[in-house]
Amino acid sequence: MIKNIVKGITLFLVIFFIFSGIIFGAEPTPPTKPKEIDLSLAVNLALTDNLNLKIANLDLENAQIDYEKTKASNLLTSSRYIQLQGDLGLLQAKDNYTQTRNQVIVDVVQKYLQLNQAKKNIMVTDKKVELEKKLLEEIKAQVQSGHKGNLDLLQQENLYQNAVFNLEKANDDYDQSFKEFKVELGVVNQGEEELVLSVIDSPQVWEISEEEALKRAMENSFTLELSKRQIELNEVDLESAEVAASPKLDLQKLKNNVVLANLNYDKTQKELNNSISKQFYTYKQAINSLDLSKQNLNQAQENNSIIVEQVNAGLKTKSDLLSAEINTLQAESDLESTILNYYISKLTLQQLMGQKIEEGEIK
């Protein structure tokens, strides 16, 4: 009996130590490194997953098929009118695909940069909480020494609580916006891997003159091309009616249609010219704001360095240093804002020019 008990205890201890070795001797699982997403990757993910772009792509494929069928069936009749209609259908589908694709890129760039700016604002708000807490501690000490009253203390407590609330809200807003952004990129269900956005450096300014922008817009504009093709269609209608000896009033209406099509073409040209001029001005202002924000950031950083030296020398307080750090972070946030405005104004100008936005241009 005693032998059986001893054997049982021995067996239990063996099993215990075996599993203890497994549990306590196992290497701890290292924490997973967050996956970093830069702006180019975000754009590529969105272009791969966007439903509107998939629809536009299929519409383009169908338009290409319809165009080939129309061209084949028109071999016998050689109708200029039918050829022009087929060309217009294909041009419309191509323009729709390009515009949809460009808009996907613009949306992703805007939301990505807004998230980067929101992250920087969180850092600013966090420093403000630290500053308000420091000031609260100072006022509490002053109240105890009789240099401040309870009203001063109450006011500072309110400022501190407001700062804490703003920080919590900023974090919640960021988390919600990031979730929505991941849904748009199609990465929301790809495991529990943490995602972080890369910091955006100041962009290299895209150089283009207003004259060049207008020239490219005139060459690429679908609306302008559509107006041009409408002139051709109306002229073909008029020629056919003249050959068929149509009634005088019908002929006059067709002649009016040709004049109207030419007027609409001229109007489209002027509107495009005006749109390019306005957007080019906006783009140049965005470049100027970018330069100014860089200068302001450099100034804030220099001022922060001076404050650090003064604090070390006993000439400034910890609160002064926190204020300088907040100013520096705010200047960084302002730079993020001007980077956002720069990209949006640039991409909008490219869209007006009828240019296909390439992912490689977004850095």
Tens of pLDDT along the chain (363 residues)? 445 544 555 555 545 544 454 444 445 555 556 678 888 889 998 898 888 899 999 999 999 998 898 888 877 777 888 888 888 888 889 889 998 999 999 999 999 999 999 999 999 999 999 999 999 999 999 999 888 889 999 999 999 999 999 999 999 999 999 999 988 888 765 554 577 888 888 888 999 999 999 999 999 998 899 899 899 989 998 998 888 888 999 999 999 999 999 999 999 999 999 999 999 999 999 999 999 999 999 999 999 999 999 999 999 999 999 999 999 999 999 999 999 999 999 999 999 998 888 765 665
Select from 274, 291, 271, 268 the least CA-distant residue to 339: 291
CATH number of the domain bearing residue 285: 1.20.1600.10
Asked if the structure places residue 58 within a domain, the reply is: no
Look at residue 84 in the predicted model and tell me its pLDDT.
81
The overall pTM is greater than 0.85: no
**Does the residue 72 lie in any domain?**
no
Domain presence at residue 129: no
- What tokens were used for 175? 């988390």
- Residue 237 counted as domain residue: yes
Tokens of 61: 């494929």
DSSP-derived 3-state class of residue 200: coil
Q: What is the DSSP string of 222-274?
A: HHHHHHHHHHHHHHHHHHHHHHTT--HHHHHHHHHHHHHHHHHHHHHHHHHHH
Q: Which two tokens stand for residue 101?
A: 């694709």
Q: Report yes or no on 88 lying in a domain.
A: no
- Residue 294's pLDDT is 96
Domain extent at residue 352? 206-362
The pair of structure tokens assigned to 277 is 């001029």
C-alpha distances (whole Å) from 261 to each of 68, 80, 90, 228, 268 are: 27, 18, 21, 8, 10
What b-and-e string marks burial along 198-213, b requiring 16 or more CB atoms within 10 Å of the CB? eebeeeeeeeeeeeeb
pLDDT of residue 202: 85
What pLDDT, on a 0 to 100 scale, did the predictor assign at position 361?
64
In three-state secondary structure terms, 85 is: helix
| 259 part of a folded domain | yes
Is the four-CA dihedral 101, 93, 272, 209 of positive or negative sign? positive
187 phi and psi angles, rounded to 5 deg: -115, 10
DSSP-assigned beta bridge partners for residue 36: 196
Residue 312 inside a domain? The answer is: yes
Would residue 31 count as lying in a domain?
Answer: no
Distance separating alpha carbons of residues 326 and 343, to the nearest angstrom: 26
Terminus-to-terminus CA distance in the chain, angstroms? 79
pLDDT at 331: 96
Q: Please state the domain count of the chain.
A: 1
Q: Residue 49 has what pLDDT?
A: 84
What local confidence, expressed as pLDDT, does residue 55 receive?
Answer: 92
